[in-house]
Structure 1
Amino acid sequence: MKKAIIFFTIYFCLSSYSISQVKYFIYFNDKGALPQTALLKTSAKYIGATKQLTSRCIERRKKVMGEDFITYEDIPLEETYIKGIEALGIKIIHKLKWFNAVTAYLTEKEILELQKFSFVKKVVPVKILSFFNDSMEKQEIKDSIGESITNQSYERLKKNYRSNYGPSFAQYNLSDIPAVHDLGINGQGVIIGILDSGFRWKDNKALMNLHVIAEYDFVQGDSVTANQSGDIDGQDNHGTGVFSILAGYDLDNIIGPAYGSTFILAKTENIASETHIEEDNYAAALEWMENMGVDITTSSLGYSIFDPGESSYSYSDMNGNTTIVTKAANLAFQRGVVTFDAAGNEGGTKWHYITAPADAYKILAVGAVTPEGQKANFSSFGPTYDGRIKPELVAQGTSVYHAISGGGYTFGSGTSYSCPIAAGIAAMLLSTFPYLSNEQVRQTLIQTASNYSTPNNEIGFGIVSALRAVTFPNLSFENNIYTVHKIFVDSNGIQPQSVKIMYMANDGVVKEDICTFDGKMKYNFNFPSYNNGEKINFSFSYKNNKGILIYEPSEGSFKFTYGNLSVEKTDEVITTEPIPQTFLLSQNYPNPFNGKTAIEFSLPNNSYVEIIVYNVLGQEIKKLFSGVVRQGKNIVYWDGKTDSNNFTASGVYFYCLKSDNTFIAKKMMYLK
């Protein structure tokens, strides 16, 4: 067994039990009734299944499952089967209704006795999974900043935001989290479940004021997730660090993305004597969280290669539907939960692939990058055995600042530390738009990641961005109306009455309308009724408080298929204006002017341009705009002020359009 710092390892320790005593899954043939009977809404079993779910869970399930939110997996285990097993003197550890199974430590004699029961389908050993042994490092705070920016520019960047993130700023700023916190978004109203090694949160300054509604120790079977008798020293260190990265709040030290959320904590990993989590702990914890109404789950576990002689999964099992933990993640997603898992820390080893449950179909596997945005060499990568891209997302996973269970802070590296950053951003998105389904959250995070147009198996779709996620348009469907929702962020402010939407259906007719404003930060538009399957393209425009006309997206448009809630960005452009063949610069109006004048220009394609005002001596007076502008007509305004924000003198001025191969100038008169 190889063991290296940063990379997680796997052990199979039987020191606590005799060789004859191993944990097994005991699978049943049925649940005391066949599906067609058990799923009748008037049956006792169906009613019993419903009673095990909180109202919050049912509400979340209905988003994706409709009224048929109970499946056969949700039907409780048949009690007569449980009693039959217990009558043999066998102590049941976990009851797993999703898998129609229980787990227990068994002798060979007990296995033979169980196999005589007609209701027992099979008895299978529980596999053991590895714990991500991410590194903790003592280092100077400046190491977390990254070499791509100077200390001076770093300090200046931090002052752009309202709160002081202390040494944690770089890890969050890489994913635009401070900018979204400044919008008042912190994950409020979202329930997040964390599966890890333990959590010493009640006396930790960064965590003690967070809203934890439930916690359970699936290793020792009690409600204590901090270290207790039977745990080795430091057992709860890893989970405490992950929790702090996700949601810690301690000004001047750490401000996690989802500090306003509510939390459910599951201690699933036993690291005593370098042992590790077992499949059933994870499956039981995930089932428990889902039933309680969790919106998001995040975990940092997986497995590598098992000890010689022990049954092991292989790369061919990384197919999205083999391991118990992967199946559990799939079932949670089918019920509306947004699921995350760390990709793994074996990128530099013989087994360099992602590990279960990161191979699950819809789980968001999160890899690690450096503060400069480069892939961390230890970060595991894909593809899955069936060819899917993994990881989907990456976040900073080296030099990540986090709390430690004994108090204080340190730096650490590992995908365990990048994963909670991404999960926290999902909470920010769902908090802003609570009607979103888990599929919409997943697609939004992927589409707004930095590498979406050229995904690969090193960093997936790229670095996750909180700002791009919350400002990406999304759809809701209520009362047979599709409504698009959009947040705009402009440092110069926005004129609410100027926000418009242009849209076009299959008939090719471009329509323009005004978006409604909710008085806070969201703009909405109700689409007219179309036939299901029609493709709808749309884009937005608005004027900022400087009078500059802005288009979103600056290139292309957004699109969705009527009857579907998935929004995508496309290269297709829609416009109500004719596209010119060359660059055009119109005469300003009014002219002469003494208040504000409008300058129109039109482009044949998306281009980088500058609009600059000069005096008659050729001296620059004001740069009105510089950046990429979409094809078609655009407008900027000038109020007679200079670059230093002082009013210039009355007289003749020239305004110029500059591009790579274009320079056009016109004259105007300013009367002060």
Structure 2
Amino acid sequence: MGKIKYLVGFFTFFSLALTLNAQDRYAVYFKFKPQSAYSLSKPQEFLTSKALARRLREGIQPDSLDLPVSSKYLEQVAPLAKYVLYTSKWMNAALLVTDKVGAEKMSALPFVAKVELAAKGFLPPPNGRIDSEDKPLKSRKDPKLNTRELGLTANSYDFQNSLIGIDQMHKEGFTGDGVTVAVFDAGFPGVKTASSFAHLFTNNQILGQRDFVRTWNNDVFIDNQHGTNVLSLIAANEPAKLVSGAYDSDFILVITEEVATEYQVEEYNWVRGAEYADSLGVDIINSSLGYWDFDDPAMNYTIADLDGKTAVITKGATIAAEKGILVVNSVGNYGSRGTSSLVAPADAKGILSIGSVKTTGDVSGFSSRGPTGDGRIKPELAAFGDSPVLIRSNGVVGSSNGTSFSAPQIAALAAGLWEARPEWTKDQLILNLLRSATQYDKPDNLLGYGVPNFMDAYYGEILSVEEEENQQWKVYPNPVESDEISILYGTGLRSEIEVIDTNGRILLRSEMVRTDPKSPYRVQLKGINSGIYLIQLSEGALIWKTKLLKR
């Protein structure tokens, strides 16, 4: 995960290309989004029916982030670039290939907000055209993953499935049918030929595929088998080898990871991939990727940067979550670094970042720890990542270590659970997963809320009348006539509150701290006029919203 390349060195031909090619990749951000062809009053013209249906379920209105980048801006920056790779509507930016002079000229344009280096060097398409319809590139040799070799295994997949209740989920008849899952990775070689994936093609379950590393390439079944391994932990269905949790889901396969190098352009690729998946109506994004250090040290993140709002990929994951997409991301394999060893976008709010446990239930040594740079608990959940059974690109059963392989198991669990409870919003799904976990009452920065379980999430915890009365999640008094309210929320000692008016403006954003998790938070509303407001609270991935009437 993360630096999937983990290479001993760069591929020789790629390094030579970077040396000979003076062109670099830049992100050009625009100040505005003037539109001539699209309007928010007609979202069906730029959003698919599935994307609109998800927004309806979540109670979300299309907004300016859904509108495309201005074509007239692109027309003016394109002559200063060698190639336009793609645009990002969420970032209001374009990814371009140009030299330093071209970047400086773009920076001077009045409608350009900023220009940032995204990656050094660029390996051009074979025929020099980005819109090439040539045959797909040939697969390159797979590098080692996380310095650990994939191994053969004599293990049974029963353990990893039963740990989170996949076996019970299947007995209840839920296999992810009707749920769309996107997998972001480095490539999916062997998926077309491995028998464990045959049903995906027989049943037309692959809804889309895109390569945002080589935008001219139209085949994702190439390159690094890490993506194949990850996909197998969601989609495999061959009892003699591996039966994973959500083999009846539909899938979108996206290459965002550039194996040969490690630059921030991969974060932009991820965001563009999320936009693409959103356009196809995706429900869940599984991302066994993460970023912290790069080939250019100037791009490296500090712990303080992992605050849920700084990294480009974290911003993208947060937007995806706000669009009602469940983002499931591996927390990282830097556990040896100790405290706050997570990677972006695992630091994002409103998503699930996933750690790894051993057969004993203890945290795996490699599994990254929290908290985030701003003190939130991470990861949220954990699953078995210490050599789970998976499928290799040659169709053979293997195993490997990493939070890359615990995350897709949680994604599969979530897909089956969402099939079972289609009325749930994304936040309700997260809440019930957290409530089902082994240490929900005492979350920590090793395993978060712990290992979830299908049956507890599906049926909910059975409470006595007295326990139900004591389980209070509320704002009081409500209506309020004073300048102070009390909030009973969550199980931790730190939360964030936002008070939002009916126009969507944030009037108050504050961090709340308490010494006893059973005591309410106290919030001052001085300066906030009478009216109806939305109160939004967040504690890690846990997000709760309610209305408040101030008289």
TM-score where L is the length of structure 1: 0.61
Corresponding residue for residue 394 of structure 2: 406
Give the 3-state SS of the residue equivalent to 2:27 in structure 1.
Answer: strand
CA distance in 2, matches of 1:8, 1:532: 56
Cα gap change, 1:137 to 1:91, in 2 (>3 Å): closer
CA distance in 2, matches of 1:322, 1:16: 31
Alpha-carbon contact 1:7-1:345 (below 8 Å) kept: no
Alignment of 1:315-464 (within 5 A): 315-349=303-337, 353-464=341-452
Q: CA deviation at 1:139?
A: 4.9
Amino acid at match of 1:429: L
Give the 3-state SS of the residue equivalent to 1:272 in structure 2.
Answer: coil
Alpha-carbon contact 1:137-1:410 (below 8 Å) kept: yes
CA distance in 1, matches of 2:357, 2:467: 40
Alpha-carbon contact 2:5-2:260 (below 8 Å) kept: no
Corresponding residue for residue 198 of structure 1: 187
Cα gap change, 1:212 to 1:503, in 2 (>3 Å): farther
CA distance in 2, matches of 1:197, 1:504: 47
- Partner deviation per Cα, 1:468-498 (whole Å, 9 max, x = no partner): 211217xxxxxxxxxxxxxx9xxxxxxxxxx
CA distance in 1, matches of 2:81, 2:22: 16
- Partner deviation per Cα, 1:404-432 (whole Å, 9 max, x = no partner): 11221111110000000001111011000
Alpha-carbon contact 2:46-2:67 (below 8 Å) kept: no
Corresponding residue for residue 66 of structure 2: 74
Q: Does 1:225 align with 2:220?
A: yes
Corresponding residue for residue 21 of structure 1: 23
CA distance in 2, matches of 1:5, 1:75: 32
Q: CA deviation at 1:266?
A: 0.4
CA distance in 2, matches of 1:390, 1:248: 29
Corresponding residue for residue 61 of structure 1: 55
Q: CA deviation at 1:7?
A: 11
Corresponding residue for residue 297 of structure 1: 285
Larger RCO (CA within 8 A; separation ≥ 6): 2
Q: CA deviation at 1:290?
A: 0.9
Alignment partner of 2:163 out of 166, 174, 199: 174
CA distance in 2, matches of 1:51, 1:11: 46
Corresponding residue for residue 207 of structure 1: 197
Alpha-carbon contact 2:5-2:144 (below 8 Å) kept: no
Cα gap change, 1:378 to 1:89, in 2 (>3 Å): closer
Amino acid at match of 1:421: Q
Give the 3-state SS of the residue equivalent to 2:458 in structure 1.
Answer: helix
Alpha-carbon contact 1:269-1:277 (below 8 Å) kept: no
CA distance in 2, matches of 1:351, 1:22: 35
CA distance in 1, matches of 2:344, 2:144: 12
CA distance in 2, matches of 1:503, 1:50: 48
Q: CA deviation at 1:75?
A: 1.5
Corresponding residue for residue 229 of structure 2: 241
Amino acid at match of 1:123: V
Mind listing any 5+ residue stretches in structure 1 that lack a counterpart? 145-166, 228-234, 474-487, 489-499, 509-530, 536-562, 567-672
Amino acid at match of 1:286: A
Alignment of 1:268-667 (within 5 A): 268-272=256-260, 278-307=266-295, 309-349=297-337, 353-472=341-460
Alignment partner of 2:34 out of 14, 32, 35: 32
Alignment of 1:124-143 (within 5 A): 124-126=116-118, 133=146, 135-141=148-154
Q: CA deviation at 1:277?
A: 6.7
- Partner deviation per Cα, 1:184-242 (whole Å, 9 max, x = no partner): 11111100111011113221111121211111111222331011xxxxxxx33110111
CA distance in 2, matches of 1:503, 1:565: 27
Q: Does 1:101 align with 2:131?
A: no
CA distance in 1, matches of 2:179, 2:3: 35
Cα gap change, 1:65 to 1:80, in 2 (>3 Å): same
Q: CA deviation at 1:170?
A: 1.1
Cα gap change, 1:16 to 1:237, in 2 (>3 Å): same
Cα gap change, 1:6 to 1:336, in 2 (>3 Å): closer
- Partner deviation per Cα, 1:10-42 (whole Å, 9 max, x = no partner): 999865335742211101110126xxxx9xxxx
Cα gap change, 1:7 to 1:467, in 2 (>3 Å): farther
- Partner deviation per Cα, 1:566-624 (whole Å, 9 max, x = no partner): 9xxxxxxxxxxxxxxxxxxxxxxxxxxxxxxxxxxxxxxxxxxxxxxxxxxxxxxxxxx
Corresponding residue for residue 187 of structure 1: 176
Q: CA deviation at 1:140?
A: 4.7
Q: CA deviation at 1:310?
A: 3.3
Cα gap change, 1:274 to 1:103, in 2 (>3 Å): closer
Amino acid at match of 2:179: V
Instruction: Give the structure with the larger helix fraction.
Output: 2
Corresponding residue for residue 595 of structure 1: none
Instruction: Give the structure with the larger strand fraction.
Output: 1
Corresponding residue for residue 44 of structure 1: 38
Corresponding residue for residue 625 of structure 1: none
TM-score where L is the length of structure 2: 0.74
Alpha-carbon contact 2:274-2:320 (below 8 Å) kept: yes
Give the 3-state SS of the residue equivalent to 1:16 in structure 2.
Answer: helix
Amino acid at match of 1:135: R
Q: CA deviation at 1:251?
A: 1.2
Q: Does 1:120 align with 2:120?
A: no
Q: CA deviation at 1:245?
A: 0.7
Q: CA deviation at 1:73?
A: 1.2
Amino acid at match of 2:73: Y
Corresponding residue for residue 578 of structure 1: none
Alpha-carbon contact 1:403-1:409 (below 8 Å) kept: yes
Amino acid at match of 2:53: E
Q: CA deviation at 1:178?
A: 0.6
Aligned length: 447
Corresponding residue for residue 652 of structure 1: none
Give the 3-state SS of the residue equivalent to 2:299 in structure 1.
Answer: coil
Amino acid at match of 1:44: Y
Give the 3-state SS of the residue equivalent to 1:439 in structure 2.
Answer: helix
Give the 3-state SS of the residue equivalent to 1:46 in structure 2.
Answer: coil
Cα gap change, 1:7 to 1:444, in 2 (>3 Å): farther
Cα gap change, 1:532 to 1:505, in 2 (>3 Å): farther
Give the 3-state SS of the residue equivalent to 2:409 in structure 1.
Answer: helix
Alpha-carbon contact 1:9-1:303 (below 8 Å) kept: no
Mind listing any 5+ residue stretches in structure 2 that lack a counterpart? 121-142, 471-477, 481-486, 488-533, 538-551
Give the 3-state SS of the residue equivalent to 1:287 in structure 2.
Answer: helix
